Structure 1
């Protein structure tokens, strides 16, 4: 259904002003139609200096505790927002029992590199300044947010700074040239978008960036000191190649990366529980991973 519907038009929309507006509307509609908001979820807007975002707490989740999730939404650096991902984050809060802070980082084409990474670092420092210990935080992100997540935790480790207790990435972008994705695409077409169209979209953000900047090309030198990582991707998506590459590079550098490729699933399927039970099952795997790799005592949630 995705291939015939959304996938048949994504590469023809283009990346001009009208195309970006149309793509933003389509992705918002897909996330709304496929998502499921836990009843009783609370959303608290945040605007503190340069830091803009929102706290999302599932029913029964108390924001006054010492632990939290720092969530970096996907978007191709262009399309999404905390609002599009609100039901996804609420379900993550529900299954972990933790409050989630979603930073509203600036998007391209209005804001190019390094706007998003600057905002992500500002959000991380804001959480620390707010009283959270790094070891009491989990960083999670999907797609381009997965790229930001990997860069954040790897860069903190390389710089010798305290990092989070764990990192979770859903269908992360790793190779921003989409070379890995293009090779995977020759084996199986992604139902959502082509590698060429995805690269054109991402180029709206990265075209002025140095290719070897560590917020563009991930730096694995600190991987041995980085937190344990869980990487999930769908078996039907081209970014399954990026997920495999990330896990391989982290492990080869002495770090820990648990990789899960979910057969037959599409890009960021975890956000779309109305399309199948695998979305909830994958989030339960996140809960179980965090139970094993962190000292967080509150990971008692479930999906209802």
Structure 2
């Protein structure tokens, strides 16, 4: 299965990242193709609101605990939704017993930075306002959602709100200029992303913010005081350097980091947990790590 999935991704998911196609078509394409990802059926996916934005609440039918995961979906900041990531959010709900909230934050290019950060911050504030203790919250995100999750942690520190117990970053984007060594080295071998698409999307997301601004170029940000981080990345993706750079930067300022590089795997391969043993193993390990942090 590990060898079969990348060619399928090139023919199905990768076209959704083609900047030459109309944006509306790319968004619908991703929504349709994501239905092939096997979302757990023993979970409830409920429409709700969080922080003034539409959101999805994901809960397993089994016994729930007090823990909450605020999951920020990927999609380059210009597509994706709670529905496209149910293969991950459903399994995290099932494996941890937590309630998972997935806000439908505003997308670029209609809404440039900092709209997405404002929505994520409003969602986190809403959890606190609803009586969820910060030590019971974990923040998680993949790809651009990983960038947003880390941006949220930095914003919480700056405004003095309590940090969550932990954060999980899957294949996180961190280098706003996409200048990492892996971008060109892996390039065309990445079965999902292309450097050209990633740079164009990053420019649309940033709006008038320069690529080297620490607010968006998170490898240049001061990560002091952040909660424990779990970072996972595939060896066959252009964002490998971003994940490795974040790990080094966080450890350099004393942040606890659990890092895993999955050799032979691709961008956010965890969405294939219903088909791929390594994807299921990754989410099982993340769930166990989160339970330790909540404890």
Q: Please, what TM-score do these two structures have when normalized by structure 2?
A: 0.89
Residue 256 (structure 1) aligns with: 256
Equivalent in the alignment of 1:135: 135
Structure 1: how far apart are the matches of 2:7 and 2:87?
Answer: 25
Query: Aligned equivalents of 1:281 and 1:212: distance in 2?
Result: 36
Q: CA deviation digits over 1:262-303, x for unaligned, max 9? A: 1111110011124421111000110221233332xxxxxxxx
Q: Where does residue 184 of structure 2 map in the other structure?
A: 185
The match for 2:19 among 15, 18, 34 is: 15
CA contact (8 A) 1:31 1:272 kept: no
Distance 1:214 1:45, change over 3 A: farther
Distance, in Å, in 1 between the alignment partners of 2:22 and 2:46 is 31
Counterpart-to-counterpart distance in 1, 2:276 and 2:260: 17
Cα offset, 1:80, TM superposition: 0.2
* 2-structure distance, mates of 1:193, 1:85: 17
Distance in structure 2 (CA, Å) of the matches to 1:176 and 1:260: 22
- How many Å apart are 1:231 and its aligned residue? 0.2
**Residues 198-225 of structure 1: CA deviation (Å, up to 9, x unaligned):** 211232221322445544122643x342
Aligned to 1:27: 30
CA contact (8 A) 2:230 2:259 kept: yes
What residue is the counterpart of 2:195 in the other structure? Answer: 195
> What CA distance in whole angstroms lies between the structure 2 residues aligned with 1:11 and 1:31?
13
1:43 and 2:42 aligned: no
> Which SS does the other structure have where 1:177 is aligned?
coil
How far off its partner does 1:7 sit? 3.4
Q: Is the 8 A contact 1:151 1:214 kept in 2?
A: no
Deviates more, 1:277-286 or 1:267-276: 267-276
Counterparts in 2 of 1:284 and 1:183: CA distance versus 1, 3 Å: closer
Aligned to 2:227: 227
Counterparts of 2:129 and 2:253, CA distance in 1: 31
Q: Following the alignment from structure 2 to structure 1, what is the Cα–Cα distance between the partners of residues 89 and 134?
A: 20
Where do 5+ consecutive residues of structure 1 fail to align? 296-304
Output the CA distance in 1 between the equivalents of 2:254 and 2:140. 21
* CA–CA separation in structure 2 for the residues paired with 1:186 and 1:148: 25
Cα displacement (A) at 1:61: 4.4
What per-residue deviation string (whole Å, max 9, x for no partner) do you get for residues 163-194 of structure 1? 000000110000121111x6443256212121
The 5-angstrom pairing of residues 65-80 of structure 1 reads 65-80=65-80
Give the whole-Å Cα distance in 1 for the aligned partners of 2:39 and 2:267: 20
CA RMSD of aligned residues (A): 2.4
User: Is 1:85 the equivalent of 2:85?
Assistant: yes
Q: What CA distance in whole angstroms lies between the structure 1 residues aligned with 2:251 and 2:110? A: 37
Measured in 1, the distance between the counterparts of 2:51 and 2:224 equals 34
Deviation per residue, 1:8-54 (Å, 9 max, x gap): 794797536x5322322333334221x22222311221236623212
Name 1:161's counterpart in structure 2. 161
Alignment check: 8 A CA contact 1:148 1:215 kept? no
Tell me if the contact between 1:103 and 1:120 (Cα under 8 Å) persists in the aligned partners: yes
* Cα distance change, pair 246–43 in 1 and its aligned pair in 2 (3 A): same
Are the equivalent residues in 1 in contact too, given 2:72–2:141 (CA < 8 A)? yes
Cα deviation, residue 84, structure 1: 1.0
Query: Are residues 26 and 282 of structure 1, via their aligned partners in 2, closer, same or farther at CA, if it must alter by over 3 Å?
Result: same
